[in-house]
Amino acid sequence: MVQMDRRRRTSWLALLVVVWSVLIGLVAHPVSAAPVGVPVGGAAGTVVAWGNTAGGHATVPPGLSDVSAVAAGDAHTVALRSDGTVVAWGWDFYGQATVPAGLTGAVAVAAGGSHTLALRSDGTVLAWGDNSYGQTTLPAGLTGITAIAAGTTHSAAVRSDGTVVAWGSNLAGETTVPAGLTDVVAVAAGGLHTVALRSDGTVVAWGFSAQGRTSVPAGLTDVTAIAAAGDSQHTLALRADGTVVAWGVDDYGQATVPAGLDGITAIAAGRFQSVALRADGTVVAWGDNRWGQATVPAGLSGVTAIAAGRVHVVALRRQSPVLTASTPPATGTAGVVYAGYAFAATGTPAPTFTVDTGALPAGLALSPAGLLSGTPTTAGVATFTVRAGNGIGSPAVSAPVTITVAPAPVTSPPVTGPAPFSPPATPPTGDGTLVVTGTTGVATTTAAAGTTTVLRADGYAPATTVTFVAYSTPTVLGTATADHAGTATLPAVVPVTLAVGTHTLVAFGTAPDGSSRATTATITVTPAELADTGADLDALPVGLVLLLAGSAALVLTRGRSATA
Percent of residues in the chain assigned helix, strand, coil, to nearest 5: 10, 40, 50
C-alpha pair distances (Å), 182 with each of 59, 189, 215:
40, 17, 19
Check residue 43 and give its pLDDT: 55
Contacts of 184 (CB under 8 A, 6+ apart): 158, 162, 163, 164, 196, 197, 198, 199, 204
Q: Is 432-526 in CATH node 2.60.40.2470?
A: yes
Contacts of 408 (CB under 8 A, 6+ apart): 333, 334, 335, 336, 379
pLDDT, tens digit, 9 for 90 and up, residues 345-395: 988 788 999 999 999 999 999 999 999 999 999 999 999 999 999 988 789
Check residue 417 and give its pLDDT: 64
**Topology (CATH level 3) of domain 323-406:** Immunoglobulin-like (2.60.40)
The three state secondary structure string of 395-460 is CEECCCEEEEEECCCCCCCCCCCCCCCCCCCCCCCCCEECEEECCCCCECCEEECCCEEEEEECCC
Q: Let me know: does 133 contact 151? Beta carbons within 8 Å.
A: no
Regions of the chain where pLDDT drops below 50: 1-42, 533, 535, 537, 539-564
CATH code of domain 18-317: 2.130.10.30
- The residue ranges of every structural domain in the chain are 18-317, 323-406, 432-526
Beta bridge partners of 21: none
Task: Return the SS3 of 552.
Answer: helix
18-317 and 323-406 have identical folds: no
Question: What is the separation, in whole angstroms, between the first and last Cα of the chain?
Answer: 206
Distance CA 78, CA 75 (A): 10
C-alpha pair distances (Å), 124 with each of 105, 111, 176:
10, 17, 21
Write the single-letter amino acid at 365.
A
Peptide bond into 349 cis (omega under 30): yes
Task: Return the SS3 of 246.
Answer: strand
Contacts of 11 (CB under 8 A, 6+ apart): none
Distance CA 439, CA 51 (A): 120
C-alpha pair distances (Å), 359 with each of 280, 328, 383, 402:
34, 14, 7, 10
Q: Which of 92, 90, 101, 111 minimizes the C-alpha distance to 36?
A: 111
Distance CA 258, CA 235 (A): 15
Q: Which of 448, 469, 464 minimizes the C-alpha distance to 521?
A: 469
b/e code 294-323 from CB counts within 10 Å (16+ = b)? bebeeeeebbbbbbbbbbbbbbbbbbbbeb
pLDDT, tens digit, 9 for 90 and up, residues 61-93: 998 988 999 999 999 999 999 899 999 999 999
Q: Let me know: does 305 contact 225? Beta carbons within 8 Å.
A: no
Distance CA 511, CA 436 (A): 20
Instruction: List strand residue ranges (DSSP E) for 169-289, in order.
Output: 184-189, 193-198, 203-207, 223-228, 234-239, 244-248, 264-269, 273-278, 283-287
CA angle 143, 178, 203 (to 5 degrees): 90
Q: Let me know: does 101 contact 107? Beta carbons within 8 Å.
A: no
Q: Let me know: does 316 contact 39? Beta carbons within 8 Å.
A: yes
Q: Is 0.75 surpassed by the pTM of this model?
A: no
Check residue 340 and give its pLDDT: 93
Q: Which of 291, 250, 298 minimizes the C-alpha distance to 274?
A: 250
C-alpha pair distances (Å), 270 with each of 197, 230, 336, 480, 538:
19, 7, 63, 109, 149
Check residue 17 and give its pLDDT: 39
